[in-house]
């Protein structure tokens, strides 16, 4: 997968909104995820929870690009900036 499919984006955001994080949210919507996308989407959800702390409709595509291209400095910087903002908001 090069881009995050629209159906997957909607499901992952719905799941995270319902459960409070992306990994648990994945389990909430798992039955509606195409089997050929399931492992990669699950790993992406874990990556968001472990490295970023959250996502929204306005930044999930950028985060997926950062996840898929870990050596792209510009994407890594964008993802790190978002993670720092989330940490600041949460008081971590």
pLDDT at res. 11:
98
Q: How many residues does the chain have?
A: 92
pTM of the shown model = 0.95
pLDDT at res. 31:
97
pLDDT at res. 61:
98
C-alpha span between 56 and 29 (Å, rounded): 17
CB 9 within 8 A of CB 24: no
Answer yes or no: is 52 within a domain. Answer: yes
Answer yes or no: is 1 within a domain. Answer: no
Answer yes or no: is 68 within a domain. Answer: yes
Answer yes or no: is 16 within a domain. Answer: yes
C-alpha span between 28 and 83 (Å, rounded): 24
Number of domains in the chain: 1
Domain residues for the domain of 35 are: 6-90
Sorted by sequence, the CB contacts under 8 Å of residue 82 that are 6+ apart come out as: 52, 55, 59, 62, 63
User: What would the two tokens of residue 18 be?
Assistant: 């319902």
Q: pLDDT (tens digit, 0 to 9) for every residue of the chain, 92 residues total?
A: 999 999 999 999 999 999 999 999 999 999 999 999 999 999 999 999 999 999 999 999 999 999 999 999 999 999 999 999 999 998 86
């Amino acid at each position: 997968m090069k881009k995050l499919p629209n159906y997957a984006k909607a499901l992952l955001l719905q799941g995270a909104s319902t459960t409070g994080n992306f990994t648990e949210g994945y389990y909430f919507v798992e039955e509606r995820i195409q089997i050929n996308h399931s492992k990669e989407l699950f790993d992406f959800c874990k990556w968001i929870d472990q490295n970023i702390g959250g996502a929204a409709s306005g930044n999930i595509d950028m985060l997926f690009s950062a996840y898929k291209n870990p050596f792209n400095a510009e994407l890594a910087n964008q993802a790190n900036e978002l993670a720092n903002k989330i940490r600041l908001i949460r008081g971590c």
